């Protein structure tokens, strides 16, 4: 880790309130120093909105104007809330509540439930869709998977817009919603769902907000108690506030107006759940005396990334677009965005994994790279490809890091060791703090190299590795720090939910990436059908998809890779086209109605499986014109693992068992020799696919999903020798 990273992880806490204002531009300063009355910040991505409000809170607290416990900062994702708590702590303003609407409401509800309702709060359901399916069965409505998902979305929308079942049909028509079934049927399902919840004594995600609103509305004593506790409110990402969240905010505020909201209408990405940027855009109408500040300098991204972001916005339509703010990059020039077209999705994932491997090899930290996709179902293909390339990744993000069982156990072990060793070194003076931590955590399962095995084992290891990394940074930043000091730091971080950096490439949906940033971002699946997603039909829905892409693009600080695949599966018909949103922006795509300026230099690269980066030759399978089908039963395959096998999981395998066994034995030796987990050599699925197709030459081997160029060069001759029936391959000499 570099010295620069140490200073970012453990920066000096500003020594005064005024020092908190250092590093803010004049407009951001205005936000930070306007501590009373309504304040609204309207600004584009990366202009420092979140920075301005965290500094505002910290400045107020440090200047003694705001009581830390009287401030409630609200944001939209757990990741963003965690990020904000971390930033506040670094500015010397620990103790301020930074939460999502949901978690702030849940906390209040748990506290007031016994007094306001009696008993304890009902259990929160975690699988709403199952409950909707049960409700559908109860009222004999048959729904396929897509309809079930859409019906669930309708129920969620009804709840956040505070629409009861009886009013659903009318409200849905008024809002122009495309209902998956007859509105009367959806209303019936919605009512049955609510009944079922009551029968089972459970509540859902939306109930948390609905019930909090109900308690605050009905019980003045409770409302007064909450208002006495919180006097200053700050809302990040205000463009995505739903009517229900807005109602809650109003109840929190009462007749006061110490409210600061920040947002960017061009990043509205939750309209489908009932959110609307109107609250942001009409803030001054509701609060005529509000201070309104606009920020335009983009501190996050290079001019190349900003150029693409501005180009996307130039094509946008609708109310949010009327308020767009052109970004002006403050960063030095960087590389042009890279556009790559692949034959199929596994090839696309493999191509991204290969580039990420190269970035890691060139010294880019894994935590500074993200792969962002439109739907969570795309994740698995990328997990597999990254595992195949031996790249560590994280799905959970840093949220609730300190609640993970392995982190709790590690904390206890470190605390015990610190007590045992007093304030001195655990072993002797010659052993530094990181070595002490490594020694203690090896007892908890930490090893120098990541383990072989399933995702859960690996994720536990990543947690411990993050603690080891934290100890290293802590020791580097504070000379002479002891294990006891580290334990204090960990306790403080746990209290503030300020997670250390988990060293892994982030895999995340575009929705969950809002507010965050990485040096390198891979936007994958930028094809028609994914972006915009097939079920986006109306103009408004299409515009929301465009904004989602804008959010994705503006997550990148330095490098941006955009890619798409022509077919879903290997051998599938190459019928897909790159996203319409890139028209006029990516090289060679013509103009977007003459409105957008052209994209950067260079052209679209053509990625190929087994080929070099940007190789012009198409992947061998592109020539085939059928979708990926099971070799045994002929069913169309969509699951990434099944696509690798080229058959359904359940269909009988025609695998050569002897070849498979020899491949497994060979893989164990390779893994042992290189100190890598076995799945980094080849995953089980790839070995099975090899044993099923028994390739005769490199070309055939390269066609198997999971065999990239690197692996072909490294292991190709061994694998082909095993397939040819040779015994004892790879067992004699070291490579
Ligand atoms: P988004 O719309 O994506 O949420 P944002 O407007 O909240 O973006 P921030 O995340 O606050 O932007 O800031 C973007 C990046 O720019 C951060 O790395 C932040 O530290 C940096 N930054 C913001 N303002 C300044 C400044 N005045 N000087 C230096 N860096 C800054
Ligand atoms: Mg932000």
d(CA 214, CA 232): 22
Q: Cα-atom radius of gyration of the chain, to the nearest Å?
A: 27
Average pLDDT of every residue of the chain: 85
pLDDT (0 to 100) of residue 615: 34
Q: 398 pLDDT exceeds 80? A: no
Q: How far is CA 572 from the centre of its chain?
A: 29
Residues 6 or more apart from 83 whose CB is under 8 A from it?
A: 50, 515, 516
Residues 6 or more apart from 136 whose CB is under 8 A from it?
A: 142, 143, 148, 151, 189, 192
Confidence of residue 564 (pLDDT cuts 50, 70, 90): very high
Q: If you average pLDDT over residues 93-116, what whole number do you get?
A: 91
Q: Report residue 139: phi and psi, to 5°.
A: -105, 25
Q: Report residue 568: phi and psi, to 5°.
A: -70, -50
* Pick from 213-217, 316-320, 554-558, 706-710: least confident: 706-710
The first and second tokens of residue 711, run together, are: 């692996």
Distance 318 CA to ligand 2 centre (A): 22
Residue environment code for 387-419, b if the CB has 16+ CB neighbours within 10 A, otherwise e: bbbbbbbbebbbbebbebebbebbbeebbebbe
Ligand 1 within 6 A of 23 CB?
A: yes
Ligand 1 within 6 A of 684 CB?
A: no
Ligand 1 within 6 A of 618 CB?
A: no
d(CA 627, CA 606): 20
At 566-579, the pLDDT tens digits run 998 888 888 899 99
Residue whose entry in the numeric block shows the structure tokens 């309130």: 17
Q: If you average pLDDT over residues 465-481, what whole number do you get?
A: 86
Confidence of residue 454 (pLDDT cuts 50, 70, 90): very low
Ligand 1 within 6 A of 299 CB?
A: yes
The arrangement of strands across the sheet holding 71-75 comes to: 97-100, 71-75, 232-235, 259-263, 39-43, 291-295
d(CA 345, CA 665): 30
Comparing 238 with 693, the larger pLDDT belongs to: 238
Which residues does residue 500 pair with via DSSP β-bridges, in sequence order? Answer: none
The first and second tokens of residue 17, run together, are: 């309130």
Q: 93 pLDDT exceeds 70? A: yes
pLDDT (0 to 100) of residue 170: 94
Q: If you average pLDDT over residues 125-140, what whole number do you get?
A: 89
At 192-241, the pLDDT tens digits run 999 999 999 999 989 999 999 999 999 999 999 999 999 999 999 999 99
pLDDT (0 to 100) of residue 227: 96
Q: 639 pLDDT exceeds 80? A: no
Confidence of residue 636 (pLDDT cuts 50, 70, 90): low
Reference 300, options 48, 523, 590; nearest CA is 48
123-124 and 259-263 strand pairing: unpaired
pLDDT (0 to 100) of residue 618: 36
pLDDT (0 to 100) of residue 652: 72
DSSP tag of 11? P
Q: 468 pLDDT exceeds 60? A: yes
pLDDT (0 to 100) of residue 510: 93
pLDDT (0 to 100) of residue 349: 95
- Tell which atom from ligand 1 comes closest to the C-alpha of 47: 6
Let me know how long the chain is.
Answer: 735
Q: What is the share, in percent, of the chain residues with pLDDT greater than 70? A: 87
Q: Report every protein residue that has its C-beta within 5 angstroms of ion ligand 2.
A: 49-50, 515
d(CA 514, CA 83): 12
Among 300, 368, 554, 557, which residue has the most ligand 1 atoms within 8 Å of its CB, making it the best to mutate? 300
Q: 180 pLDDT exceeds 60? A: yes
Bond from prior residue into 532 cis (ω within 30 degrees of 0): yes
Distance 261 CA to ligand 1 centre (A): 16
The protein residue whose alpha carbon is closest to atom 4 in ligand 1 is: 515
d(CA 99, CA 104): 6
Confidence of residue 426 (pLDDT cuts 50, 70, 90): very low
d(CA 91, CA 482): 23
d(CA 368, CA 394): 12
Beta carbons within 10 angstroms of residue 710's beta carbon: 17
Confidence of residue 181 (pLDDT cuts 50, 70, 90): confident
pLDDT (0 to 100) of residue 677: 65
Ligand 1 within 6 A of 555 CB?
A: no
Confidence of residue 616 (pLDDT cuts 50, 70, 90): very low
pLDDT (0 to 100) of residue 347: 94
Among 50, 268, 552, which residue has the most ligand 1 atoms within 8 Å of its CB, making it the best to mutate? 50
DSSP string, 623-673: G--S--B-TTT-PBP-SHHHHHHTS-TTSPP---HHHHHHHHHHHHHHHHH
Distance 251 CA to ligand 2 centre (A): 25
Which ligand sits closest to the CA of 330?
A: 1
Q: Is 266 helix (H, G, I), strand (E, B) or coil?
A: helix
Reference 465, options 455, 476, 450; nearest CA is 450
d(CA 484, CA 502): 22
d(CA 311, CA 333): 17
Q: Report residue 466: phi and psi, to 5°.
A: -65, -35
Ligand 1 within 6 A of 24 CB?
A: yes
The first and second tokens of residue 430, run together, are: 């010659």
- Tell which atom from ligand 1 comes closest to the C-alpha of 44: 2
pLDDT (0 to 100) of residue 129: 85
Residues 6 or more apart from 138 whose CB is under 8 A from it?
A: 192, 196
User: How deeply is 665 buried, as exposed, middle or buried, from its count of CB atoms within 10 A (0-12, 13-18, 19+)?
Assistant: middle
* Pick from 371-375, 553-557, 592-596, 676-680: least confident: 592-596
pLDDT (0 to 100) of residue 150: 83
d(CA 74, CA 84): 9
Beta carbons within 10 angstroms of residue 605's beta carbon: 18
Distance 599 CA to ligand 1 centre (A): 25
Q: If you average pLDDT over residues 494-505, what whole number do you get?
A: 76
Residues 695, 701, 704, 707: is their CA dihedral positive or negative? positive
The first and second tokens of residue 204, run together, are: 């859902």
Comparing 162 with 29, the larger pLDDT belongs to: 29
pLDDT (0 to 100) of residue 455: 57
Reference 708, options 628, 639, 615, 579; nearest CA is 615
* Helical spans, DSSP H, in 289-396: 303-314, 319-322, 345-361, 379-388
Q: What is the share, in percent, of the chain residues with pLDDT greater than 90? A: 48
- pTM score, whole prediction: 0.72
Q: 425 pLDDT exceeds 60? A: no
Cα distances (angstroms) measured from residue 499 to each of 503, 551, 589, 645: 12, 24, 43, 38
Distance 80 CA to ligand 2 centre (A): 8
Distance 300 CA to ligand 1 centre (A): 6
Residue whose entry in the numeric block shows the structure tokens 């016994």: 114
Contact predicate 73/94, CB 8 Å:
no
At 307-351, the pLDDT tens digits run 999 999 998 888 877 877 889 999 999 999 999 999 999 999 999
Residues 6 or more apart from 19 whose CB is under 8 A from it?
A: none
Contact predicate 99/107, CB 8 Å:
yes
Contact predicate 216/104, CB 8 Å:
no
First and final C-alpha spacing in the chain? 30
DSSP string, 26-94: HHHHHHHH--SS-EEEEE-TTSSHHHHHHHHHHHHHHTTSS-GGGEEEEESSHHHHHHHHHHHHHTT-T
User: How deeply is 221 buried, as exposed, middle or buried, from its count of CB atoms within 10 A (0-12, 13-18, 19+)?
Assistant: exposed
At 232-286, the pLDDT tens digits run 999 999 999 998 999 999 999 999 999 999 999 999 999 887 888 999 999 999 9
* Pick from 171-180, 231-240, 635-644: least confident: 635-644
DSSP tag of 533? B
Confidence of residue 11 (pLDDT cuts 50, 70, 90): low
* Pick from 79-83, 202-206, 226-230, 294-298: least confident: 79-83
> Cα-Cα-Cα-Cα dihedral of 378, 379, 385, 391, to 10°?
150
Residues 6 or more apart from 401 whose CB is under 8 A from it?
A: 82, 407, 463, 466, 497, 499, 500, 502
């Amino acid at each position: 880790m570099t010295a620069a990273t140490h200073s970012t992880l453990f920066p000096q806490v500003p020594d005064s309130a005024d020092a908190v204002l250092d590093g803010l531009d004049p407009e951001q300063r205005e936000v930070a120093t306007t501590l009373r009355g309504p304040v609204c910040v309207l600004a584009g991505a990366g202009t420092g909105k979140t920075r301005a409000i965290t500094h505002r809170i910290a400045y107020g607290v440090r200047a003694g104007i705001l009581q830390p416990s009287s401030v409630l900062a609200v944001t939209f994702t757990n990741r963003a809330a965690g990020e904000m708590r971390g930033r506040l702590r670094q500015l010397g303003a620990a103790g301020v509540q930074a939460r999502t609407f949901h978690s702030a409401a849940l906390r209040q509800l748990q506290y007031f439930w016994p007094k306001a309702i009696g008993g304890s709060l009902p259990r929160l359901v975690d699988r709403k869709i199952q409950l909707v399916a049960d409700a559908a069965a109860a009222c004999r409505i048959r729904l396929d998977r897509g309809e079930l998902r859409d019906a669930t979305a309708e129920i969620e929308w009804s709840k956040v817009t505070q629409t009861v079942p009886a009013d659903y049909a009318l409200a849905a028509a008024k809002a122009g919603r495309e209902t998956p079934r007859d509105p009367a049927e959806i209303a019936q399902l919605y009512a049955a769902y609510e009944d079922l919840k009551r029968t089972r004594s459970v509540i859902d995600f939306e109930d948390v907000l609905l019930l909090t609103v109900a308690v605050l509305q009905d019980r003045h004593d409770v409302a007064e108690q909450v208002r006495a506790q919180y006097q200053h409110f700050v809302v990040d990402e205000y463009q995505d506030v739903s009517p229900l969240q807005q109602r809650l905010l109003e109840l929190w505020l009462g007749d006061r107006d110490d409210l600061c909201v920040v947002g960017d209408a061009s990043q509205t990405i939750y309209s489908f759940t009932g959110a609307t940027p109107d609250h942001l855009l009409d803030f001054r109408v509701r609060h005529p005396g509000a201070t309104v500040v606009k920020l335009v300098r983009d501190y996050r991204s290079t001019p190349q990334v900003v150029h693409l972001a501005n180009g996307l916005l130039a094509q946008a339509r609708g109310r949010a677009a009327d308020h767009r703010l052109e970004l002006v990059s403050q960063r030095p020039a960087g590389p042009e965005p890279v556009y790559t077209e692949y034959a199929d999705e596994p090839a696309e994932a493999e191509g991204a994994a290969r580039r990420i491997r190269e970035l890691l090899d060139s010294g880019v930290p894994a935590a500074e790279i993200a792969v962002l996709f439109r739907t969570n179902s795309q994740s698995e293909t990328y997990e597999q490809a990254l595992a195949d390339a031996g790249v560590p990744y994280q799905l959970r993000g840093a949220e609730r890091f300190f609640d993970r069982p392995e982190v709790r156990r590690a904390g206890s072990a470190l605390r015990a060791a610190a007590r045992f060793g007093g304030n001195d070194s655990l072993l002797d003076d010659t052993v530094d703090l990181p070595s002490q931590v490594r020694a203690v955590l090896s007892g908890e399962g930490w090893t120098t190299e990541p383990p072989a095995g399933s995702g859960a084992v690996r994720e536990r290891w990543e947690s411990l590795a993050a603690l080891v990394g934290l100890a290293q940074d802590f020791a580097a930043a504070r000379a002479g720090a002891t294990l006891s000091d580290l334990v204090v730091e960990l306790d403080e971080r746990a209290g503030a939910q300020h997670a250390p950096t988990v060293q892994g490439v982030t895999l995340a949906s575009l929705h969950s990436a809002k507010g965050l940033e990485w040096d390198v971002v891979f936007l994958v699946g930028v094809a028609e059908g994914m972006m915009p997603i097939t079920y986006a039909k109306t103009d408004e829905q299409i515009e929301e998809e465009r904004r989602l892409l804008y959010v994705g693009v503006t997550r990148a600080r330095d490098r941006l890779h955009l890619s798409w695949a022509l077919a879903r599966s290997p051998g599938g018909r190459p019928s897909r086209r790159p996203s319409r949103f890139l028209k006029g922006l990516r090289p060679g795509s013509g103009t977007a109605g003459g409105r957008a300026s052209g994209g950067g230099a260079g052209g679209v690269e053509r990625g190929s499986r087994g080929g070099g980066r940007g190789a012009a030759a198409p992947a061998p399978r592109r020539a085939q014109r059928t979708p990926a089908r099971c070799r045994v039963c002929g069913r169309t395959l969509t699951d990434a693992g099944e696509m690798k096998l080229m058959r359904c999981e359940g269909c009988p395998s025609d695998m050569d068992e002897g070849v498979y066994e020899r491949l497994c034995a060979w893989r164990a030796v390779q893994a042992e020799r290189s100190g890598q987990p076995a799945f980094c050599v080849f995953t089980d699925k790839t070995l099975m696919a090899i044993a099923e197709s028994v390739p005769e030459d490199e070309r055939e081997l390269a066609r198997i999903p999971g065999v990239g160029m690197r692996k072909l060069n490294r292991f190709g001759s061994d694998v082909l020798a095993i397939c040819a029936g040779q015994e004892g391959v790879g067992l004699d000499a070291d490579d």
